[in-house]
Amino acid sequence: MTTSIAMAVAATAAALVPLSPAHAAYGADQPVYLQLVSNDGYATQLALLDGTVAFDDGNTKYRYSLRLCWQHAYPQPYFTINVNGTSTASPTQTGPTSMSGCQQAYLYSGEVNFGGTVRNVRFDVTGGWFGSNGQYQMRTKSTYTYDNPYN
């Protein structure tokens, strides 16, 4: 009888313990790499973006950990995050770092809850320079489009 009561109490207690919400798991980090060069025939290195991006198995979040190296662009280069080919966001800068061959380098990282299905992400890097004729030019180049493996 005591065993039956103990089991009933344990079952009731287990039923009353609130379940913690399930946490989405992230897939493997995918490497990100883009070298932005001038397109005036001199191929001047303007900026380098590298790091990783990953997607959660719930299809609504992604995370990134990136470095942006300022090489010979003027002014400082920048990048944006493009989700599903239509939505553009600015990355979160988390501090400076050092990289060989860079005037300056910055770290960017974040976990983004997109609020809808994340099908893919790409990064667009923009940098400017003065050409040999003294004319200022700008160029934007996109990384590979990173597909979410969960959809």
The pair of structure tokens assigned to 11 is 């079952």
The answer to whether 51 touches 65, Cβ cutoff 8 Å, is yes
Instruction: Write down the pTM of the prediction.
Output: 0.83
pLDDT in tens, 121-133: 999 999 999 998 9
Q: What is the 3-state secondary structure (H, E, C) of 56-71?
A: ECCCCEEEEEEEEEEC
What stretches in the chain show pLDDT beneath 50? 3, 6-21
Indicate the domain borders of the chain: 25-147
Residue 124, classified by CB atoms within 10 Å of its CB into exposed (0-12), middle (13-18) or buried (19+), is middle
Domain spanning 25-147 has what CATH number?
2.60.40
Distance CA 79, CA 149 (A): 24
